[in-house]
Every structure is written in C-alpha cells, then in structure tokens.
C-alpha cells in the first residue's frame, strides 16, 4: 500500500510490481458512482485535467471491503510542492480551482485541495487523486478552502512578496503553511491586496478567534452554514484572481549562467557532440540532469528520447526552465528544485508519506555536467563520496570533470586556500574507480575539461 | 444537513468563507451581468470570460 494514501477512508492506493492500483471502499462508493454518472470524469479526462484509469477486476483488491478497483496511469516521476518553482505551484493552484469550478457545474465538489494531489505530466499539471470528488450541493461552504489557502496561497504569497526560498518551508509544513505564520511573515503592504487581505490575513485572524471558542457541548450538532451558489462561485473567482495576480520576478546569477560560461564556441560544440554520443550509447528511457540550470543538456537528452528530470538548486533557473517547458519547448522534461548537497528527505508519518530524493524511481543515467567542481570544491565533498552518491542514483553517469586550471574552478578557489590536493584528473579517475567502470573518457576540444561515461560496478 | 469532511475544514475558515461569499457575491454578480451583456452585444455569449463555467446566475437562491 502506498504509505501516502491512508488519510482518506474512501479508498487506497497500492502497487503490484510496476502497476498502480486504486481500490474504492464502501465509504466512497456513493461519491464514486455520482462522480462517474455526472460525466465529470469523462470531461476532465478529455481535457487532460485528471489522470485516466482502466477498470480492474474486484479480485485485484488489496484489502477487504472494495466496491471497485481501478488501474490509474502511473505518473513518473512523482514530485512534491517543495520541489516546484513558483509557476509550477501556481499552475497547480489554478488547476485545483478549475477542478472545483467544473465540479460545481455538475453538482460535485473537490473534497480536498492538497498540493500533493497534483503532479506534472508532459509539461502540464494534472490531478492524480481520482477519489477527490464528492456529491454536494453548491450551497454548502467548500470544506477544502482552508487547505487550499495553506497548501497554495500562503507559500505563493510568501514567494511573491518575501523570498523564493520560502517555498522550502513546505518541507517542514507538509500540510501547508499555517496562515498565522504566513500572515506574520508577509510584508504589511500585502494587506492592501484585497485577495491576500481576505484569504490570508483575515483568514488567519478568523482561525485564531475560533481557536478560543469553547468546545461544543457533547452531542450538539455542528453549526449549519450556508452560502449562495453565486457566493460559492464568487469566492472561487476571488481565489483565482488572487493567485493569478501573484508575480515573482526572479533575480539570480545562475539563470544567466549558460550564457556567461567560459566556453569557446568550439568547446561548446565539442561538449554537445560528446554528450549526445554518450546519451545515445546509454540508450535508456529516463535521465536525471543534475545541476541542469536552464536545461540546455536536458533538451539534448529529451531529443535523444529520454524522459528527463532536470534538477537545479536555484529556483530562478527552474522557473525559467519550467516556463519554457510549459510553453511547449519539450514536454518530456520536468524541471525541479533540488539541492544535491541537501536533497529532499523522506517526510511525513513514519517518514514514509513523501519519499526522499534517493527513493524515487531510478533513472537509467544521470548527467552531471559542470557540477562536480561545485560539489568537491564549493561544498568540500570528497570525490569518492560524489562517486558513491552517483552510484546510488543511477547505473550510468555522464560526468564532466572541470580541473583547477579552468576559470570557473579558479573562481571557486579565488578567496580560499587550496586544500583540495586530490582534485586532479587522476584523483577523479581513482575516486570513481571503486564504484564505477570508465566506459569512455573524452577530452573536450579547446577546453581543459574532460567528459566521462561511467557504468556502476 | 451538517456535512462531515475527512479533512478538518476549520470552524474559523468556514465562518470566514460564509462571510466572504456573501460580500463577494454582489460585485461578482454584477461583473457577470456586465460581462454577459458585453458578450451578447458582440454575439459571442457562448464564451464567458470567467472561469466559473457559464452557470446562469438567475438559478441562484
């Protein structure tokens, strides 16, 4: 059973080998039928807003009590909100609102608004939780309003109005950023934004007030609250305008890095040719580009037929990369924010709800181009540890060695004593020797750098 | 009929939502009337500008 699917009693997710299943329990039976009968599912699938599924036999249920079993298409790789750039999180938020809006049209509603229910598939956000809808009159308030604000609005507002690194707070707060915390961290001028004033600042205050309410008397029914249908849609419209109105202007030297490197034209051409030959030699399906920047070599891998995850620690580079992917540059690429020196940990209940960077599905090959000097010199990671991490990540690796005489490495050493005696081409070879076999070693023309194709031993 | 959600909707969040829905409904309603009128004038009323899906406001209670 998927360790992230225990919260909702209406169903559960599990895997058998490579096949993903979702079992619908008695508790979710009526809503499941209403969802299919309303035609909502068919419309959402046609517009690629929800993952499609095939019906499976009830015999394939994992636990007793199943009323139906389905095989949803697997989305690969799974990523998490703390790995998304601003626009990825915003696109996921807008999809969530669109789904709720369409659900209202058919007498249904989204019963939750978890950012973890959205994944990225071929350059677009998509809902993966097929059991997210329930039948409800539009005159009931939206129970997921609070979750939407905590999972989406608060982090987006913090990134837009405070700092992009606030997105990483989602690692600590896996059920969304508490609104009173967001309200305290946001600049006072955000109170002049009507949407943020209402959905964030007043919302935080309303939560604080209700926390002081006395507990309900035993057996008393919860208060019945009603909204008009127009009010329901107005609230949704206001959330949409607020989210769509948030802007983040990245300011980073990395996103201009590709155009300001030390490469000559001949060296760039030579590097591109060798990387492509190595990608073709591996002939795998999945590649991870580590330190992808804005994705020059990710595009090359996609062109060579790979599905690529393009990791970079710089949110601005990932943002620029995502915007190009979303605009149709290459749907085979998923840019994500990740810092190799402190990658996403396992999180949540029993540390099993969200898997760590190392526990995602293994790629066939990793690209580590112009990266090792940042790890070895910028982060003081010994080369044999770099080799061992690369070996854990994938069976094959395309790695660029940037020696000390290269201007980029000289820059890293400019203000510090050189304590990196072993950082030489020979040192690189012997560090990788224990974990990898050198399949090919190719010096880049007109450059002191060398490319390696390495296979895990 | 009180509803029971599997996530905690938060009593403060629910109360605020009711108040906001009431306050936002009026400008929203008029914006939609104006937008519908505009589309009717231009002969393209099949494509309302908002994301709300073209539900007729007159069905509201």
Residues forming a β-bridge with A308: A287, A333
Position B56 scores a pLDDT of 40
Give the three-class secondary structure for A454.
strand
Contact with chain B for residue A245, Cβ under 8 A:
no
Position A310 scores a pLDDT of 97
Distance, CA of A348 to chain centre? 16
By Cβ distance, the residue of B6, B13, B50 closest to A9 is B6
Give the three-class secondary structure for B51.
coil
Lowest mean pLDDT among A172-176, A233-237, A306-310, A411-415: A411-415
Same domain (yes/no): A205, A61: no
In a domain, A217, yes or no: no
pLDDT band (50, 70, 90) for residue A78: very high
**Beta carbons of A401 and A432 less than 8 angstroms apart:** no
Judge whether residue A60 has pLDDT over 50. yes
Position A38 scores a pLDDT of 96
Same domain (yes/no): A241, A319: no
The residue that leads in pLDDT, A257 or A432, is A432
Same domain (yes/no): A37, A96: no
In a domain, A166, yes or no: yes
CATH code for the domain of A335: 3.40.50.150
Position A52 scores a pLDDT of 97
Count of domains for chain A: 3
Contact with chain A for residue B50, Cβ under 8 A:
yes
pLDDT band (50, 70, 90) for residue B57: very low
Cα distance from N-terminal residue to C-terminal residue, chain A: 32
Same domain (yes/no): A154, A267: no
Best residue in A104, A233, A237, A244 for a mutation probing chain B (most B CBs within 10 Å): A233
In B, minimum Cα distance to A95 occurs at: B51
Residues 4-33 of B with CB under 8 A from A: 5-18, 20-22, 24-25, 27-29
Asked if A146 lies within 8 A of B8 by C-beta distance, the reply is yes
d(CA A129, CA A179): 25
Q: Which residues of B touch A98 (CB under 8 A)?
A: 51
Same domain (yes/no): A238, A139: yes
Asked if B16 lies within 8 A of A202 by C-beta distance, the reply is yes
Name the pairing type of β-strands A365-368 and A286-290.
parallel
Position A256 scores a pLDDT of 59
Judge whether residue A228 has pLDDT over 80. yes
Same domain (yes/no): A137, A57: no
Q: Which residues of B touch A221 (CB under 8 A)?
A: 2
Q: End of a domain among A53, A72, A91? A: A72
Position A42 scores a pLDDT of 97
Using CB atoms within 10 A of its CB, is residue A143 exposed (0-12), middle (13-18) or buried (19+)?
Answer: buried
Best residue in A12, A129, A147, A206 for a mutation probing chain B (most B CBs within 10 Å): A206
Residues of chain A above pLDDT 90, percent: 85
Position A259 scores a pLDDT of 53
In a domain, A2, yes or no: no
In a domain, A219, yes or no: no
Same domain (yes/no): A67, A167: no
- Min Cα distance B59 → chain A (Å) is 8
In a domain, A216, yes or no: no
Tokens 């190392």, residue located? A358
Reported as type and span, the H/E element at residue A304 is none
Judge whether residue A279 has pLDDT over 60. yes
Best residue in A39, A91, A95, A146 for a mutation probing chain B (most B CBs within 10 Å): A146
**Beta carbons of A1 and A12 less than 8 angstroms apart:** yes
- Residues 6+ away with beta carbon under 8 Å from A154: A176, A177, A178, A179, A181, A182, A200
Position A455 scores a pLDDT of 98
In a domain, A413, yes or no: yes
d(CA A23, CA A61): 6
Judge whether residue A193 has pLDDT over 70. yes
Same domain (yes/no): A288, A372: yes
DSSP state for residue A285 in the 8-state scheme: S
Among residues A316, A317, A434, which one has the least CA distance to residue A370?
Answer: A317
Whether this model's pTM surpasses 0.95: no
Contact with chain A for residue B37, Cβ under 8 A:
no
Contact with chain B for residue A201, Cβ under 8 A:
no
Interval B1-46: pLDDT, tens? 345 567 888 889 999 999 999 999 999 999 888 888 888 888 754 5
Position A212 scores a pLDDT of 81
Contact with chain B for residue A105, Cβ under 8 A:
yes
The residue that leads in pLDDT, A441 or A18, is A441
Among residues A314, A365, A317, which one has the least CA distance to residue A338?
Answer: A314
For residue B37, give Cα distances in angstroms to A230, A283, A396, B42.
18, 58, 62, 9
Same domain (yes/no): A398, A430: yes
Position A215 scores a pLDDT of 78
What is the SS3 assignment for A345-414? CCECHHHCCECCHHHCCCCCEEEECCCHHHHHHHCCCCHHHHHHHHHHHCCEEEEEECCCCCHHHHHHHC
Mean pLDDT across chain A, nearest whole number?
Answer: 94
d(CA A405, CA A420): 13
Same domain (yes/no): A67, A43: yes
Contact with chain B for residue A281, Cβ under 8 A:
no
Q: End of a domain among A28, A53, A72? A: A72
Angle at A82 between CA A89 and CA A144, to 5 degrees: 55
Give the three-class secondary structure for A439.
strand
Asked if B52 lies within 8 A of A143 by C-beta distance, the reply is no
In a domain, A113, yes or no: yes
In A, minimum Cα distance to B20 occurs at: A235
Q: Which residues of A touch B28 (CB under 8 A)?
A: 230, 233-234, 237-238
For residue B35, give Cα distances in angstroms to A249, B23, B57.
31, 19, 12
Residues of chain A above pLDDT 70, percent: 98
Judge whether residue B55 has pLDDT over 50. no
Contact with chain B for residue A104, Cβ under 8 A:
yes
Interval A417-430: pLDDT, tens? 888 889 999 999 99
Contact with chain A for residue B53, Cβ under 8 A:
yes
Mean pLDDT of A163-175: 95
**Residue A330 lies in domain:** 254-456
Task: State the DSSP string of A40-91.
Answer: HHHHHHHTTSB--EEEE-GGG-SSTTEEEEEEEPPPSS---GGGS-HHHHHH
Q: End of a domain among A27, A49, A72? A: A72
Asked if A229 lies within 8 A of B51 by C-beta distance, the reply is no
Position B46 scores a pLDDT of 53
Contact with chain A for residue B58, Cβ under 8 A:
no
Q: Which residues of A touch B17 (CB under 8 A)?
A: 141-142, 145, 225, 227, 235
Position A260 scores a pLDDT of 57
By Cβ distance, the residue of A98, A143, A222 closest to B51 is A98
Among residues A291, A257, A271, A266, which one has the least CA distance to residue A450?
Answer: A271
Asked if B52 lies within 8 A of A208 by C-beta distance, the reply is no
In a domain, A4, yes or no: no
Judge whether residue A412 has pLDDT over 60. yes
Mean pLDDT of A267-286: 96
Position A223 scores a pLDDT of 75
pLDDT band (50, 70, 90) for residue A263: confident
Lowest mean pLDDT among A43-52, A175-184, A249-258, A442-451: A249-258
Same domain (yes/no): A27, A149: no
In B, minimum Cα distance to A101 occurs at: B52
Mean pLDDT of B42-55: 51
Asked if B22 lies within 8 A of A209 by C-beta distance, the reply is no
Same domain (yes/no): A113, A239: yes
- CB count, 10 Å around CB of A254? 19
What tokens does A395 get?
């069976």
């Amino acid at each position: 059973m998927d360790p992230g699917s225990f919260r909702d009693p209406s169903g559960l997710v599990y895997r058998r080998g490579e096949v993903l299943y979702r079992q619908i329990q008695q508790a979710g039976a009526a809503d499941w039928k209403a969802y299919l009968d309303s035609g909502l599912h068919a419309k959402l699938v046609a517009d690629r807003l929800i993952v499609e599924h095939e019906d499976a036999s009830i015999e394939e249920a994992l636990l007793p009590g199943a009323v139906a079993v389905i095989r949803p298409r697997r989305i690969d790789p799974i990523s998490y909100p703390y790995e998304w750039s601003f626009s990825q999180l915003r696109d996921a938020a807008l999809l969530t609102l669109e789904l709720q809006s369409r659900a209202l049209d058919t007498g249904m509603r989204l019963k939750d608004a978890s950012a973890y229910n959205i994944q990225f598939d071929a350059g677009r956000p998509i809902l993966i939780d097929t059991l997210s809808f329930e039948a409800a009159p539009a005159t009931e308030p939206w129970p997921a309003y609070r979750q939407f604000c905590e999972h989406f609005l608060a982090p987006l507002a913090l990134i837009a109005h405070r700092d992009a690194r606030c997105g990483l707070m989602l690692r600590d707060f896996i059920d969304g950023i508490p609104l009173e915390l967001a309200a305290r961290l946001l600049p006072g001028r955000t109170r002049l934004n009507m949407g943020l004033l209402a959905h964030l600042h007043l919302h935080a205050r309303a939560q604080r007030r209700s926390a002081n309410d006395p507990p309900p008397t035993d057996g008393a029914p919860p208060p019945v609250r009603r909204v008009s249908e127009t009010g329901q849609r107005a609230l949704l419209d206001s959330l949409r305008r607020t989210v769509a109105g948030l802007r983040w202007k990245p300011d980073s030297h990395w996103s201009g890095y590709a155009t300001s490197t030390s490469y000559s034209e001949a060296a760039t051409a030579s590097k591109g040719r060798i990387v492509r030959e190595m990608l073709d030699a591996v002939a795998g399906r999945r590649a991870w580009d580590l330190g992808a920047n804005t994705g020059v070599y990710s595009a090359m891998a996609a062109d060579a037929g790979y599905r690529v995850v393009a990791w970079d620690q710089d949110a601005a580079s990932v943002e620029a990369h995502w915007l190009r992917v979303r605009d149709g540059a290459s749907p085979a690429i998923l840019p994500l924010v990740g810092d190799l020196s402190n990658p996403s940990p396992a999180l949540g209940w029993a540390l099993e709800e969200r898997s760590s960077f190392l526990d995602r599905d293994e790629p066939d090959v990793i690209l580590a181009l112009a990266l090792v000097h940042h790890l070895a010199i910028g982060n003081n990671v010994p080369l044999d540890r770099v080799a061992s991490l690369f070996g854990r990540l994938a069976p094959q690796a395309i790695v660029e060695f940037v020696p000390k005489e290269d201007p980029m490495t000289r820059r890293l050493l400019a203000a510090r004593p050189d304590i990196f005696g072993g950082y030489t081409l020979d040192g690189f070879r012997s560090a990788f020797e224990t974990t990898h076999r050198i399949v090919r070693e190719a010096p880049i023309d007109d450059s002191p750098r060398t490319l390696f194709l390495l296979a895990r031993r | 009929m009180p509803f029971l959600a599997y996530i905690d909707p938060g009593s403060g969040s629910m109360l605020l939502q009711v108040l906001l829905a009431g306050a936002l409904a009026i400008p929203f309603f008029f914006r939609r009337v104006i937008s519908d009128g505009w589309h009717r004038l231009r002969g393209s009323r099949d494509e309302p500008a908002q994301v709300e899906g073209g539900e007729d406001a007159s069905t509201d209670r």
